[in-house]
Structure formats: C-alpha cells, structure tokens
Structure 1
Amino acid sequence: MNVNNNVGNTPQTQQKSKTSVDYQSFLKLLMAQMKNQDPTKPMDSTEYVAQLAQFSQVEQSVQMNTKLEYILQSSALSQADSLIGRQLTSADGSITGVVKEVRLASDGLIAVLNDGKEVPVLPGVVVKQAPAAA
C-alpha cells in the first residue's frame, strides 16, 4: 500500500517503493486497528508503542540507505571526471578508445568514447594514459 500525502513530486518521493508507508498511513492503520479490536480483549498500550518504535526504526533505515545511495552517486561522479581524456579498454578487451564523456546510469558509470561507442565502467575495465596525438 502506498499512501503519499506529500505535496509535489520530488525525486525522493518518486523513488519510494510501492510498499513504503509514511507516518500518516501508520496512524490510519493504528486507528483502524483500534476501531476493529475485540472490546473484550483490548490491545495493550505497550504494544502500540512497540509498533511505533519498530516503524520509526525501519523508516530511519530506509532514509539512511537513501542518503548512502546519494553519497555513492556523488563519489561515482567525482571519479568520472578522472576518466575523461584517458584511454579505456572494455573488460573483454573488444573496445578501446579515448573517453570523451561519462554518464551516470542507474547501474553505474557509462564511458562514451570519441568514436561514440559506450562502455560500462565495470570490474575488469582498463584505464590508462591516452597515447599522445601524432
């Protein structure tokens, strides 16, 4: 269930999982649980507090993961600058060329060579000083 009461669509809200729940949704679920409980066996208030604490902990973990993703993307972009102008050889050795630009894709960096070919920057890629122009 995805209930999103945020105003505006920021990249962070657009990337939320379909199973994510915000605080408003939690409170709605809690109220529904309270309304539908058996009056002869009411739920203990400590159970509500425990549920709220668990929900808070999960949400903090999700926020921390999102921030770590941003840090990794920033790190990848700062490393991308060092690839421009260097000679890159694909992991299988089939493509070699000088890097003209680097793009950040969802699964990592993509080096665009001077001849227009694109090479994903993965383990096994060889990067070295570009040969001097003749």
Structure 2
Amino acid sequence: MAINTNYDNSYMNTYTDGTKVTNPNSELGKDQFLQLLVTQLENQDPLNPMDDKEFIAQMAQFSALEQMQNLNESFSAVKAYSLLGKTVTASVDSNGSSSTVTGKVDSVKFDGSNLYLEINGSDVSLDSVTSVSD
C-alpha cells in the first residue's frame, strides 16, 4: 500500500478572514499572536468563556514576546555600532553571484527593519559580516 506524502498545507498559511500569513520564517510573531488571541476570543463558547487566568497568561506571553523582539533589535544595533572604525570582511550576494567586501566601517544605517554597515561607499547587511579586525 502506497502512502501519500504530498500534503496541501495552504490552509495553514491563511487567517480565518482569508488573508495570507506572510511570515517567511514560519515563526509566531507578535501580529500573528495577537490575531490568534482575537480569533480565540471571537470564537469562544459564551456558556463556557475562557478563564481569566488563561487570558492573563496569554497577554503576559504576548508582552514577553514583544519585549524579547525589542531587546533583539537593541542588541543588533549595539553590535553594529561597535563595528564603527573596525575593518570587516563580508560576503555579499548580488544577482546570483557572491563577492567578498573588505574595508573599514564608516557608518551604520538603519532602514526601519535592517541594519547596514557602510564599507567603501557600499551598504552591507550586518548579517553578512564574516570577520572583524581592529
């Protein structure tokens, strides 16, 4: 007997209102967590409502998630600013080809979601740095 391993998981990538989930890492972000909580509240049984202790615990988890994300952004910024004036080597992918950029970090740029180091007049993502030297 053959076992079918081709599953259609497209239903797992949509909210109840039909909008698509656009989180490429498949991690539960704060927006998805809040949407899940609202959906849970909308669909609870009126004769058996959610226990207030459960609701408070979920809100605490939401708050903790948000604070961890804020800390992560702060640590990334500190890491980027600590590289100012240092010589770094980074692996940069552009148009399907990989190249190595080496130079002194002249400035740090933040575009709202990503940090970039300016090296020899070009912006390099902080995540692409492979080595650092004084």
Shorter-normalised TM-score: what interval? 0.5 to 0.7
Structure 1 runs not aligned, ≥5 long: 3-14, 35-42, 130-134
Q: 1:124 to 1:118 in 2, by over 3 A?
A: closer
How has the CA–CA distance of structure 1 residues 106 and 83 changed in structure 2, closer, same or farther, with 3 Å as cutoff?
same
Once the 2 structures are TM-superposed, how far is the Cα of residue 49 of structure 1 from its aligned partner?
5.1
Quote the Cα distance in structure 2 between the aligned partners of 1:87 and 1:72. Answer: 24
Residue 105 of structure 2 aligns to a residue whose secondary structure is strand
Conserved? CA contact 2:87–2:102, under 8 Å: yes
Q: Max radius of gyration: which structure?
A: 1
Matched, 1:68 2:73: no
Is the counterpart of residue 96 in structure 1 residue 95 in structure 2?
A: no
The structural deviation recorded for 1:74 is: 1.5
1:79-94 equivalent positions in 2, closer than 5 A = 79-91=79-91, 94=100
Provide the TM-score with structure 1 as the length reference. 0.55
Partner of 2:115: 109
User: For residue 127 of structure 1, what is the aligned residue in structure 2?
Assistant: 132
User: Is contact 2:86-2:105 (8 Å) kept?
Assistant: yes
* Residue equivalent to 2:56: 56
Report the CA distance shift for 1:106/1:61 in structure 2 as closer, same or farther (over 3 A).
farther
* Structure-2-length-normalised TM-score: 0.55
* In structure 2, distance between residues paired with 1:21 and 1:78: 33
Query: What is the correspondence of 1:11-26 to structure 2 with a 5 Å cutoff?
Result: 16-17=31-32, 19-21=35-37, 26=41
Structure with the higher fraction of residues in strand conformation: 2
Q: 1:117 to 1:123 in 2, by over 3 A?
A: closer
